[in-house]
Structure 1
């Protein structure tokens, strides 16, 4: 796996051993971040520029690392598996991004209270388990999402995502067997 854009473009990142983690493949990740930085969500400027980004179900941290590579000021990674956290720590060290990152080893469905809200969030839950809506609710309830946060959720193409209260679907893109659903969050709508 490699970073696909920004200042770390082409640099390798490590995926954890085992089958418990499914890293976002290059094409969907590249498409996701191109949409964020150059598509309709960038009409008023790059939403990643100087943003605090949440990478939930982080695994290797590919999404948060990609965000840092493309201008995010900080990435917060939530991951529960020890092997994934170990790989993530190595990736942060390899890219020299430790000072711009926080790792929270916790279950995304039961996260601790946030110390600061994120402007952009990327969720990559295990496919086919219906974890998107409960994860969105839990993150919102614990203060992880700023008002008007832009949220992207990667799912299996055949999975449905009914946005919980406070979330509005903005767009959906399909890439092979996966899809990415873009949402906005309004705390007042929750």
Structure 2
């Protein structure tokens, strides 16, 4: 976590506290990833009338707008989709966002029917089975141990868990077909 604080991916509050067990939102995750990927995020997405326009359903005045704009520009999310940035980030949604960051969305479509996510005891509640399979195979996420283990797709991701995944992405860097995050 110290490394991520140093690079301003994680930011302590006014009292200097990090709150590692705090649950995060989809927007928090995109903000963390955007700051992990680049040192400078700006927002300038003007429409034909010169006024900023919404991206992925996120208005220009939203606190997460610049991060959503970065994620869209990087190809992590579809600018025409609707990203619920203020919703809590579940493990299932995180797996789908990781597939976008890694730009393996086509592979996850294949893995939907042919992947390990179908072996979890709670597979019926996993919406993004292909993305979960990919994230598990890459060691970014894991289920509980043992036969018939659970993935817990509706578990809300904490700041500490997100930080661990970002550092795993750093280690994965160079083993994927595209750049993921800045080097630490």
Query: Above 0.5 in TM-score?
Result: no
**Which gives a bigger RCO, structure 1 or 2 (Cα 8 Å, sep 6+)?**
2
Q: TM-score, normalised by structure 1?
A: 0.28
Q: TM-score, normalised by structure 2?
A: 0.29
Structure 1 or 2: larger helix share? 2
Instruction: Name the larger-Rg structure.
Output: 2
